[in-house]
Amino acid sequence: MSAKPLKVLACGDVEGRFSQIFNRVSAIQKKSGPFDLLLCVGDFFGDNDTEWKDYKSGKLKVPIATLILGATNDRQASYYTEDGQEMCENVTYLGKKGTYTESSGLQIAYLSGLESSSEEGDNSHFGRKDTTGLTLPVIADTKYKGVDILITSQWPKNVQKYASAIEGIEDGDQLGSEAVAEVARLLQPRYHFAGLSGIFYERQPYRNHKVIAESSRHATRFIGLAKVGNKQKKKFLYAFNVVPLNKMESAELNKTPQDSTECPFPMSRFWSSNQIDDTDTQFFYNMSGKNKQGSKHKSDFKDGGDRKKQKKQPQATGPCWFCLGSPEVEKHLVVSVGTECYVALAKGGLVPEHVLILPIGHHQSTVSSPQDVRDEIDQYKSCLKKCFKDQGKGVVFFERNFRTQHLQIQVVPIGGSAIQEVKDTFMECAESESISLDEIPKHSDLKQIIPVGVPYFYAELPLGDKLLHRISKNFPLQFGREVLCESGVLNMPERADWKNCKISKEDETTMTADFKAMFKPYDFSLL
Ligand SMILES: *[C@@H]1O[C@H](CO)[C@@H](O)[C@H](O)[C@H]1NC(C)=O
Ligand SMILES: *[C@@H]1O[C@H](CO)[C@@H](O)[C@H](O)[C@H]1NC(C)=O
Ligand SMILES: [Zn+2]
């Protein structure tokens, strides 16, 4: 059975009428309390905040733990100094964006300020980085269940779609923010409160799943609250009981209310996940089956003889050119073999030191590889970076998880001004191909961001920048290669097509030996 519910109050814009709201809440506490929490949406401060100093000094008391949102203009911004700040006893500013977990386990997601089209936003606006920062962890988590409550300054755009009209406004379409709608769609709160509009609107609950097509999930109740103490006596205070969703049985949580509607918000671009297209178009190896070598003598290619025990590795069902145990792999290209991964010269590489990091066993992508494999990929990456750093070069790593069956991380060293230029070049090329390449935080982990099964292109640049594109339909297979051939980077347009870069097997063997010799002092697998 469910845990004991929390009693929560939500109120609309306070706009400096502090005694009005707190006296009202005190009265409610006595009459029908105790409530556990007061959530304030919209503007907490207003044009006249003269009462504030008495709350701040402790002369007047706030009767309940109160969570507030941030500024929507510069004047208000002066009150806020940091996320999570205690404004006075019992009043906490949550922050610009994030998720707050109350001691009972109740989860409250919040997004402060007005929508801005910029990346960063400012002290009264949230930018695209804020909404992505709030939703990326959710998108990455296939077991995500939702949050209990979402509070935003602004309304989500088009919330009235499929529902009753919003009373008191002519054109509901003009109200609210598209970005807030996207956040609501992704976070799937059970309750969503917003302010700023001066309107009370309790929408019919909307479903977070498609009927029949998807299994049932909990519904969202959106409630727009009017301003505290408004003359028209529109409702500005809303009381409800809620059991944190992580303490509920899913059958109970996911019960669909009678009057629920479709979700009013458009499908986010993030959810347009596509089926994996496993047509094999690997372009670094000849797929026609020539140059096959027997794999009976593993020690032929295993550098260092039988130093390491060969682990049992997952095998491809069909022939795979990259499984190290398969007869198809071109062993004369292998430069280093670890426990989980190996490094091989890229066929038709851009530069002689263009190599690939590959798992020994059959894994499709970084995201779908087990931790041991990802750890060793990181180990190879750092050895390769050291090796090239000593030559004054930086390394570009990129992976395309689209139309490949076996993970290949391309490793291309670049030097000179290209180290600075390469990020802009990636961005420009992406723009000209209409590819949305997103910068993800430097310390983020791809696995936390991309669900297994979603195709992507991912690059790590010498200065630590990480770029990610979720592939939705088509993607130029040689994109990474094309970018690196641009004038600002390697400046070798003629090598964008790998077919122009083929060399003889003898030359490949020589290049492999050269690379091995160069890499030897850095290669952890030889230590
Ligand atoms: C803060 O709120 C709690 C209830 O949540 C109340 O017991 C306490 O007295 C309040 N503090 C002040 C200074 O009023
Ligand atoms: C691949 O190998 C086949 C058979 O040996 C050969 O005819 C073909 O030209 C090669 N293709 C490429 C792209 O190297
Ligand atoms: Zn394979």
CATH code at 217? 3.60.21.10
Same domain, yes or no: 377 and 480: yes
Give a yes or no: residue 312 inside a domain.
no
Going by C-beta distance under 8 Å and a sequence separation of 6 or more, which residues neighbour residue 18?
A: 49, 51, 52, 55, 60
- How many angstroms separate the CA atoms of 264 and 204, rounded? 11
Contact by Cβ (8 Å): 330, 342: no
DSSP string of 131-166? HHHHHHHHHH-TT---EEEEEESSPBTTTTTTSPPP
Whose atoms come closest to the Cα of 67: which ligand? 1
CATH code at 390? 3.30.428.10
Same domain, yes or no: 51 and 190: yes
pLDDT in tens, 204-213: 999 987 776 6
Q: Give 3-state DSSP helix, strand, coil % of the chain, rounded to 5.
A: 25, 20, 55
Tokens of 43: 């503007």
- pLDDT over 70 at 231, yes or no: yes
CA of 394 to the centre of ligand 2 (A): 33
Question: What is residue 318's predicted lDDT score, i.e. its pLDDT?
Answer: 65
Give a yes or no: residue 96 inside a domain.
yes
- pLDDT over 50 at 432, yes or no: yes
Give a yes or no: residue 142 inside a domain.
yes
Q: Give me the number of domains the chain comprises.
A: 2
pLDDT in tens, 466-475: 999 999 888 9
- pLDDT over 90 at 173, yes or no: no
**Using only C-alpha atoms, what is the Rg of the chain?**
28
Three-state SS at 395: strand
- Parallel/antiparallel/unpaired status of strands 219-224 and 237-242: unpaired
Taking phi first (over 0 means left), then psi (-120 to 50 degrees means alpha), and beta for anything else, what does residue 328 get? alpha
Alpha carbon nearest to ligand 2 atom 8, residue: 288
Strand order of the β-sheet with 121-122 is: 114-115, 125-126, 121-122
Between 211 and 61, where is the model more confident? 61
Three-state SS at 438: strand
pTM of the predicted protein model: 0.55
CA of 288 to the centre of ligand 2 (A): 6
Give a yes or no: residue 37 inside a domain.
yes
By the CB criterion, residues less than 5 angstroms from ion ligand 3 are: 316, 320, 322-323, 362, 406
Same domain, yes or no: 232 and 345: no
Question: What is residue 33's predicted lDDT score, i.e. its pLDDT?
Answer: 82
- How many angstroms separate the CA atoms of 268 and 228, rounded? 33
Same domain, yes or no: 263 and 352: no
290 CB within 6 A, ligand 2: yes
pLDDT in tens, 285-341: 333 333 333 333 333 333 333 444 445 677 766 677 788 877 777 889 999 999 999
The number of C-alpha atoms within 13 Å of 85 and in the hemisphere containing its C-beta is 15
Same domain, yes or no: 212 and 360: no
Q: Of 268, 293, 323, at which residue does a domain stop?
A: 268
Which structural domain, as residue segments, surrounds residue 136? 7-268
Between 115 and 298, where is the model more confident? 115
Q: How crowded is residue 307: how many other Cβ atoms within 10 Å of its Cβ? A: 11
Tokens of 202: 């309790």
Tokens of 330: 């071109």
25 CB within 6 A, ligand 1: no
